[in-house]
Amino acid sequence: MLTLSDLSCSRGHKPLFAPVNLTLQAGQALHLEGDNGVGKTSLLRIVGGLSPADAGEVRWMGHSTREDPQAFRTALFYLGHALSLKEELSALENLLSDAAVAGRALTPADAVTALARMGWRGREHLPLRVMSQGQKRRTALARLWASQAPLWVLDEPFVALDVKAVDALRARMAAHVTQGGMVLFTSHQAVSLADAAGQALDVRHYRLEPAA
């Protein structure tokens, strides 16, 4: 369970958003909404432990993530705006080295399967430098198929994806949620999730309000 209590953050002595209080239970997806510049990315970075909060805390399974970062990082999959891809490496090499750094076991065969899920057919061995922005994003998101982390924190995962890739990503998020995972994501579009049987899943919404 992820709990954010009275979380606040400021830029230049001015609070960015009104203090955030929310909990995310196993099997829930939460869509974080808010206008441009209200601090969605900043909030996700605080949750991921990359930036410190001005006040309040993030708790994972009841423990502060600042005090016990190790346990939290094992459970976390974080993907920010920067995709963490190397242009000189191929999609496959990127996926494999990334999994090893994150401490996930991933075989090349599984990596190819993960890429295929995100619409890669062949060309896994070409350097990413020659690929389009959408294909790079697909590569970064293919990590979700290789991840066993229960908590996903995704910053604008749907940007620059075509309709097929958006559907694949939604299906993956839905599968993760039905298996008891948690997804915290931002998006400017409405996102609906449905399980394998086509049953709509409940996506919670949280609107980030600017500080008064």
Partner 1 sequence: MSAPSVHAFMAVLQRDLLLAMRRKSEVLTAVFFFVVVAALFPLGIGPELNTLRLVAPGVLWVGALLSSMLALQRLFEADFRDGTLEQMAVSPTPLALLVAAKLLAHWLVSGLPLVLLAPVLGLQFDLPVEALLTLTLALLVGTPILSLVGGIGAALTLGVRGGGVLLSLLVLPLFVPVLVFGAGAVEAQASGLGSQAHFSILLAMLLPAAFFGPWACASALRIALE
User: According to CB under 8 A, which one of 50, 55, 126, 194 is a site residue for partner 1?
Assistant: 50
Helix (H) or strand (E) holding 142: helix 133-142
Q: Which is nearer to partner 1, 141 or 193 (CB)?
A: 141
Interacting residues with partner 1 between 153 and 212 (CB under 8 A) = none
Could you tell me whether strands 63-64 and 200-201 are parallel, antiparallel, or unpaired per DSSP bridges? unpaired
Sequence letter at residue 31? H
Binding residues with partner 1: total (CB under 8 A): 29
Smallest distance, Å, CB 11 to partner 1? 12
Can you tell me the distance from the alpha carbon of 113 to that of 122, in angstroms, rounded to the nearest whole number?
11
Query: Between 9 and 193, whose beta carbon lies closer to partner 1?
Result: 9
Q: How far is the CB of 164 from partner 1 (least distance, A)?
A: 25
Spatial neighbors of 166 by CB under 8 A, at least 6 apart, are 158
Among 28, 32, 40, 48, the residue binding partner 1 under the rule CB under 8 A is 48
Please choose, out of 15-23, 31-39, 45-53, 181-189, the segment that lies near partner 1 by the rule CB under 8 A.
45-53
Residue with tokens 């065969």: 109
DSSP 97-128: HHHHHTT----HHHHHHHHHHTT--S-TTSBG
Of 142 and 203, nearer to partner 1 (C-beta) is 142
What is the spatial distance between Cα 63 and Cα 153, in angstroms, rounded to a whole number?
18
Cβ nearer to partner 1, comparing 88 with 195: 88
Distance CA 172, CA 169 (A): 5
List contacts with partner 1 (CB under 8 A): 48-52, 70, 73-74, 76, 78, 80-89, 93, 96-98, 100-103, 127
